[in-house]
Amino acid sequence: MPKQVRVRFAPSPTGYLHVGGARTALFNWLFARHHGGKFILRIEDTDFARSSREMVEGILEGLRWLGLTWDEGPYFQSQRLEHYRSFAGRLLEKGMAYRCFCKMDESAERKNGYRDEAAGDAALHECARLNAEDSGRRAAAGEAFAIRFKIPPEKTFFRDHVFGRIEVENKILEDFVLIRSDGIPTYHLVVVADDVDMGITHVIRGADHISNTPKQVLLYRAAGEPLPEFAHLPLILGPDKQRLSKRHGATSVMAYAQTGYLPDAFFNFLALLGWSPGDDREILTRRELTELFSLKGVGKADAVFGLEKLDWFNSQYLRNASAGTLKELALKELEAAGIGDSGPESLDAKLELLKGRIRKLSDFSTVFRAFFSDDFEYDPDACKKFLKDPKLKEWIPALYALYLAAGEFTLESAEAILRGLAERQGIKAGLLINAVRVGLTGQGVAPGLFDIMQVLGRQRTLARLERLGGYLNRTISN
């Protein structure tokens, strides 16, 4: 291990910070913090047509939300164009690159792909055979040209911390473009030039970059620079085992933040996408993750991103949150949703009742809205399942009258009154319990009914039973 580890996260601001990018940033951050090194942020913004300041701010916001503070940067590649041209110029002078005067569209210059091995020498650019004098003369005459790297013969290999030794035959590599004819540098050039200048010791990135690495290794060697160590992270797939995409859920990290996931829960969840601490532990603090993180724990198998698992992580963090923290989070969510908890009931009691059921903060204003507002709807599926018995039109008003006349309204008395009515009517108490639960919360699944009554209080319980009776009269025929 070198004296000081230096890693980088280098997103392109052509989109917001997505799950894959966030996981890459997180692994780099953990690696740097584990080794007491530096985490550098670099913005790869040379795609001028698609990059935007808005996307840059979105990336920074996502990193800050996750707590991935950077030690240097952000550096912007758009501010270093002359440096890249100089880097390419040095390779040109050493005969390791050449001017290409071929007419091609921008997409062909961006391709940087592989040769058609069957085409043999025909795949080589004729410009590679130009002598330095002819090439210089045409350039001096004002003829447009790109700069291509000249692929040497033999093989290229590198060692990867995750996938081991990787080797390719150089004959399948195309003489890739370093500087396009419009003067804009390409990805392979800028990433190597920056990693050299910034002293990057470890390149930790997604496995989709493995195919790029041999070309970059050749650039390092051509420039006479030492190779960094490489670690390519397994891809992240959706539950259907296809590449993670928009159809699998939110596309940006901040979309999860806005939906009500906690940054610590999301951090913990991301850390286990493709990495294991070596045991069965799942709930790990940032400090524990930092202490345990090692590239040896990164697996080769693709990771699967599942919202159900993320929900589970988030629910665990909410359940373990202090009463004060949970109250602060709940009030913030309710305020954002325009819900004022104006009832006399204790907010603390409601949160204590709900904390074991909340999956994300938005549940306060959606699934459990009825605990904080009288403005809520009945779930249609719950109505179909629990409000279909015609006799409920008689039993719910009867229950309302019993509660109205009761001398006390405690958990025990509320339960005794309901069960007494069920026994007198010769029905199962569950029929009434399920129907009343829908009336009080709008949901078919909720905490214990009599606990709900206590946090709502007598007046709200009566008002909602009256509303339920009206609903049943309108919807259930005799």
The pair of structure tokens assigned to 190 is 């800028």
Q: How big is the chain by its Cα radius of gyration, in Å?
A: 32
Nearest residue to 354 via CA among 334, 382, 380, 381: 334
Q: Taking a C-beta distance cutoff of 8 angstroms, is the pair 255, 246 a contact? A: no
- Cα 273 from Cα 286, distance rounded (Å): 15
Q: Which one of the listed residues 103, 246, 384, 388 is annotated catalytic?
A: 246
Q: Taking a C-beta distance cutoff of 8 angstroms, is the pair 212, 230 a contact? A: no
Q: Taking a C-beta distance cutoff of 8 angstroms, is the pair 399, 418 a contact? A: yes
Q: What is the dihedral of CA 324, 328, 333, 337, to 10 degrees?
A: 120
350 has catalytic annotation: no
Q: Taking a C-beta distance cutoff of 8 angstroms, is the pair 319, 355 a contact? A: yes
In degrees, to the nearest 5, what angle opens at C-alpha 325 toward C-alphas 71 and 360?
Answer: 85
Strand, coil or helix: 43: strand
Q: What is the dihedral of CA 47, 48, 51, 54, to 10 degrees?
A: 160
The pair of structure tokens assigned to 86 is 């100089």
Strand, coil or helix: 80: coil
Q: Which residues are catalytic?
A: 246
